[in-house]
A and B are shown apart, each in its own frame.
Chain A
Amino acid sequence: MSHCSRAAARLLGRFLRLQQNGVRHCSYSASRKNLYISKSTKVICQGFTGKQGTFHSQQALDYGTNLVGGISPGKGGKTHLGLPVFNSVKEAKEKTGASATVIYVPPPFAAAAINEAIDAEMPLVVCITEGIPQQDMVRVKHRLVRQDKTRLVGPNCPGVINPGECKIGIMPGHIHKKGRIGIVSRSGTLTYEAVHQTTQVGLGQSLCIGIGGDPFNGTNFIDCLDVFLKDPHTEGIILIGEIGGNAEEDAAAFLKENNTGPNAKPVVSFIAGLTAPPGRRMGHAGAIIAGGKGGAKEKIAALQSAGVVVSMSPAQLGSTIYKEFEKRKLL
């Protein structure tokens, strides 16, 4: 197929998708603002008394996150890590006034935990769990996009962090530094590379959101880019993608529409999996080149056409965005 007709097919496909999804997403996108956590955000933890929940809750407390309690069905009324334990999200929300929940529940029960949080109208739900069956997430997502109170991040994600203010997830807090770069990524540990580098070059991070590696998740690149573009504290953006799906191409289209002209914020990107063999699931459930689609090359091309500076090496994200800042005299 010639390049022209392929591009036309893609465009048409995208148009059809937007048409189909437009009605549904109108309401859900209203919850994007819940992504911006802060010092005052009260957080509760589902799976509080489990091994992962305990470990990461302690880390969050050490970081200074405003963790106010947790949920462990059947253990309501007890105390854990000096905080109250509740039987349900609804109860916890009522008693603590929490506006965010983090889920460390094993895969067979995690979708139910997300549903419980949606039932309780939690403004922000961050699901760390990896390994939730795709069908379960399809059902969760079906509910999610038809409401506007709850924003889900993940599953299979490292979480969300506003450096120095609030850490919801498993990321190492000490590498972060409050600053000017918004980072959004499908990968956890690869995000930490970007964080470390931007800390080292002195730019720091305004908000870091890990959207996770699953094919069906609650928040995509566009949701985060929208938040970053509207946030006066975010002066530059790093977007880390990988093979599989169309999220990066959609992000590129969004940037083309919303981030052009003299006031465009600099965006730097890295796409993992350029050398991945097709047909193999590279760790993440969503990281697969299937049927010739979802490859890194196309994503890189799409992003470049939207004015994004794509780094070929994950080791040069910090230096690349620093150079962009220099170019635009933002330093």
Chain B
Amino acid sequence: MLLVMREKARRPSSRGSTSHRSGLSPLTAQTLHGVPDSRLPHGGAAAHPRSGRSPLPHGGRRSAPCPRHPARPPPGRHAQPLSSPPQGWAPRGRAELPPGERGRAGTAAAGRAGGAAKMAAPLAGRAAVALRTLALRSARLRGSFPAVQLTPRRWLNLQEYQSKKIMADHGVTVQRFFVADSANDALQAAQRLKAKEIVLKAQILAGGRGKGIFNSGLKGGVHLTKDPEIVEQLAKQMIGYNLSTKQTPKDGVTVKKVMVAEALNISRETYFAILMDRACNGPVMVGSPQGGVDIEEVAVTSPELIFKEEIDIFEGVKDHQALQMAKNLGFKGPLEQQAADQIKKLYNLFLKIDATQVEVNPFGETPEGQVVCFDAKINFDDNAEFRQKEIFAMDDKSENEPIENEAAKYDLKYIGLDGNIACFVNGAGLAMATCDIISLNGGKPANFLDLGGGVKEAQVYQAFKLLTADPKGKPEQPKELESTRCSFPLSAGGRSALLLLAKRSAQRSSRL
């Protein structure tokens, strides 16, 4: 392990936010700044009469209070109510969007194991949810922004349409949609859809699309309309233009594609997730008839409304398990079987794509009697990349921090933090402990970096280059490297890379 002192890391304020709270990556700070007040749990957006929350964003419009919505699950349920959620369960809860985002329909960018990027939920919506779900009750009572370490889950970045396509390919019912990369295509798509109402959504990874502005002058990255001609006009002002939202760089992100989807009414929302649970040593289904609200709160206030069903990895979801879960979610009559089918398909999807978690919220019911996955979040297993090449190939890295992209190229596990002591470590546990011990002694780590045990000289060299690079691209002054601690021999690759660097640095100094 080697501790390296360097100049305070100054990252480009790529997202328009320059404040860096200690211990937070710039992305994190951005996220917190990106959360509009209206989206806070106690914020001021027009609340829905029944749930007290903002109107639905999914292209889902909630119709008049549905008489079928049960306050309590039907009697005689067999699945065991959950007192505490499964270990690996990382519920997202409902993503709230401003009224302008109502057309959002479908899945957001998915994330890698443990770090799920959102699907359709805009970044700001995710942040709002993260604020709610990550132990912020006391902060909520205080009514203030808590300074917590939140990180948007940016691992595998998929566009909304890509994730929805994956789901659709596996038979999961999502809102019908087409993707268009020209206004004419958008028109044709809208005509082909033959939907009563259409939602048009700019496809970018960042959130806050509803309130974004295009440099064409068009306001809002999500629009609802009944007229395909209007879809064409709107698309003309979207495609090829930059959409700036609170979570994009100042200049925005170029919109290359738009999603043209059918807007559906939603009469009832439930929550459904499948995840690999450590405690149960396998897949677990988690569901609640109380979808569309903060699921973490449901887990706390009404744990009897959360249902858990363990799945045998070799036997899969049995028919009776799927039906029982559908019953517990409150689906009745023909919808029960429909929901059970969707549950089975979601499980197959979960296995097929090597997901560690698939969370559908809301897993909804339309007045027309359809069970639809309006939005979902998928966490992908990084370790399965070698056999999920198609999915990982869709990874859109353009909105990542450049240094993390660079590190990933060389198979280095790098996470940017916000300090001035760079870390260069063999081993994840030791790397975490290094960051801990720096903080313990009043310092701030600039990064987490696990080189791994089998690291080669070339990777070590690249890691050094990454750590000592000046992000502003100024001509390099020879930086002083203080090796303050070298506790164990670096791997063979590490040692020879150090020698190589020392040699090159000596050569450079002799030329000066």
Give chain A's interface residues, CB within 8 Å of chain B.
1, 5-6, 8-10, 12-13, 16-17, 20-21, 52, 107-108, 130-135, 138-139, 141-142, 145, 158, 170, 172, 175, 185-193, 196, 213, 215-216, 240, 242-247, 270, 272-288, 290-294, 312-315
The interface residues of chain A lying within 8 Å CB-to-CB of B454 are 52
Contacts of B430 in A (CB 8 A): 187-190, 193, 272, 314
CB of B265 within 8 Å of the partner chain: no
Bound-complex Cα distance A68 to B234 (A): 73
A-B contact count (CB 8 A): 236
B46 at the interface (CB under 8 A from A): no
How many angstroms between the C-alpha atoms of A280 and B449 in the bound complex?
Answer: 13
Q: How far is the CA of A246 from the CA of B85 in the complex (A)?
A: 12
B43 at interface by CB-CB < 8 Å: no
Q: Verify if B400 is at the interface (C-beta below 8 Å from A).
A: no
CA distance A167 to B439 in the complex (A): 35
Q: Give chain A residues whose Cβ lies under 8 Å from the Cβ of B445.
A: 275
Residues of chain B within 8 A (CB-CB) of A10 are 84
In the docked arrangement, what's the CA distance between A247 and B448, Å?
Answer: 23
- A selection of 21 A-B contacts at a CB cut-off of 8 Å is A1-B300, A17-B279, A133-B384, A135-B351, A141-B282, A172-B488, A189-B425, A193-B433, A196-B488, A215-B88, A242-B429, A245-B88, A270-B433, A273-B432, A275-B436, A280-B151, A280-B153, A288-B115, A291-B90, A291-B91, A294-B87
Query: Is there contact, CB below 8 Å, between B386 and A291?
Result: no
Query: Is residue B160 within 8 Å, beta carbon to beta carbon, of the partner chain?
Result: no
Interchain CA distance A162-B150 in the complex, whole Å: 42
**Do A278 and B151 touch across chains, with their CB atoms under 8 A apart?**
yes
A215 to B88, CA, bound (A): 9
Complex-state Cα separation, A11 to B155, whole angstroms: 33
How far, in whole Å, are A13 and B280 apart by their CA atoms in the complex? 11
Q: In the complex, which of the residues A130, A188, A282 contacts B432, with contact meaning CB atoms closer than 8 Å?
A: A282
In the complex formed, the residue of B with least CB distance to A187 is B429
CA distance A142 to B155 in the complex (A): 29
Partner of A135, one of B85, B381, B453: B381
Q: Shortest distance in angstroms between A238's beta carbon and chain B's nearest beta carbon? A: 13
Of the candidates B23, B84, B87, B310, the one whose C-beta lies within 8 Å of that of A277 is B23
Nearest 3 Cβ contacts at the A-B interface: A187-B429, A283-B428, A189-B427
- Inter-chain CA distance A315–B85, complex, in Å, is 35
Contact pattern, B 164-178, Cβ under 8 Å of A = 1, otherwise 0:
000000000000000
- Mask, B451-476, CB within 8 Å of A = 1, is 01110000000000000000000000
Docked Cα-Cα span, A290 to B92, in Å, equals 10
Given contacts A133-B384, A196-B488, A215-B278, contact A278 B134 (CB under 8 A): yes
CB distance from A75 to the nearest CB of B (A): 22
B499 close to chain A: CB less than 8 A: no
Q: Are A12 and B276 interface neighbours, CB within 8 A?
A: no
B450 interface residue per 8 A CB criterion = yes
Contact B296 A20 (CB under 8 A): no
Flag if A272 contacts B436 (CB, 8 Å). Answer: yes
Across-interface contacts of B310 in A (CB, < 8 A) = 20
Given A134-B354, A135-B313, A242-B428, list of 8 further CB < 8 A pairs? A188-B453, A245-B88, A276-B448, A277-B28, A279-B114, A285-B383, A312-B440, A313-B437
- B394 at the A interface (CB under 8 A): no
Neighbour of A314 across the interface among B354, B433, B452, CB < 8 A: B433
- Measured between beta carbons, the chain A residues less than 8 angstroms from B283 are 138
Taken residue by residue from 331 to 353, chain B's Cβ proximity to chain A (1 for < 8 Å, 0 otherwise) reads as 00000000000000000000100
The answer to whether the Cβ of B264 comes within 8 Å of any Cβ in the partner chain is no
For the complex, is B137 an interface residue (Cβ under 8 Å from A)? yes
Instruction: Please determine whether B276 and A284 come into contact, CB atoms closer than 8 angstroms.
Output: no
- Listed residue (A6, A139, A170, A285) with the most chain B CB atoms within 10 angstroms of its CB: A285
- Pair A9/B431 contact, Cβ less than 8 Å: no
Question: How many angstroms between the C-alpha atoms of A187 and B437 in the bound complex?
Answer: 16
Instruction: Given A216-B276, A277-B149, verify A291-B415 contact (CB < 8 Å).
Output: no
Asked if A274 and B436 make an inter-chain contact with CB atoms under 8 angstroms apart, the answer reads: yes
Q: How far is the CA of A275 from the CA of B413 in the complex (A)?
A: 17
Inter-chain contact B149/A142, CB cutoff 8 Å:
no
Any A CB within 8 A of the CB of B510: no
A273 to B91: give the CA distance in the assembly, Å: 21
Which residue of chain B lies nearest to A270 when distances are taken between CB atoms in the complex? Answer: B433
- Asked if B426 CB lies within 8 Å of chain A CBs, one says yes
Q: Considering residues B1, B89, B381, which has the most beta carbons from chain A within 10 angstroms of its beta carbon?
A: B381
- Which residue from B133, B137, B452 sits with its C-beta under 8 Å from A291? B133
Complex CA gap A240/B433 in Å reads: 10
Q: Is the CB of A213 within 8 A of B429?
A: yes
Set of chain A residues within 8 Å of B282, measured between Cβ atoms: 138, 141-142
B186 contacts A by Cβ under 8 Å: no
With CB as the reference atom, state the residue of chain B lying closest to A274: B436
Cβ of B245 within 8 Å of any chain A Cβ, yes or no, is: no
Contact: A188 with B88, CB < 8 Å? Answer: no
Nearest Cβ on chain A to B131's Cβ, whole angstroms: 11
Chain B positions within 8 Å of A1 at CB level: 137, 300
Residue in B24, B303, B429 with the greatest tally of chain A CB atoms within 10 Å: B429
Given the interface pairs A190-B427, A276-B448, the reply to whether A281 lies near B432 with Cβ below 8 Å is no
Is B305's CB within 8 Å of the partner chain A? no
List the A side residues contacting B417 at CB < 8 Å. Answer: 277
Is B276 in contact with A135, judged by CB distance below 8 angstroms?
yes
Distance between A154 CB and nearest chain B CB, rounded to angstroms: 13
The residues of B that contact A5 with a CB separation of less than 8 Å are 300
Residues of A near B80 (CB, < 8 A) are 16
Contact A185 B429, beta carbon cutoff 8 Å = yes
Residues of chain B within 8 A of A288, CB atoms compared = 113-115
Instruction: Using CB atoms, name the residue of chain A closest to B357.
Output: A290
- The chain A residue sitting closest to B488, CB to CB, is A192
Question: Measured between C-beta atoms, what is the minimum distance from A118 to chain B in Å?
Answer: 15
A272–B87 CB distance below 8 A: no
- The answer to whether B151 and A279 have CB atoms under 8 Å apart is yes
Pick the most buried of B314, B431, B487: most chain A CB atoms within 10 A of its CB.
B431
Nearest A residue to B299, CB-CB: A9
Task: Tell me the bound Cα distance from A133 to B431 in angstroms.
Answer: 23
Contact (Cβ within 8 A) A292 B135: yes
Q: Is B281 an interface residue (CB 8 A)?
A: yes
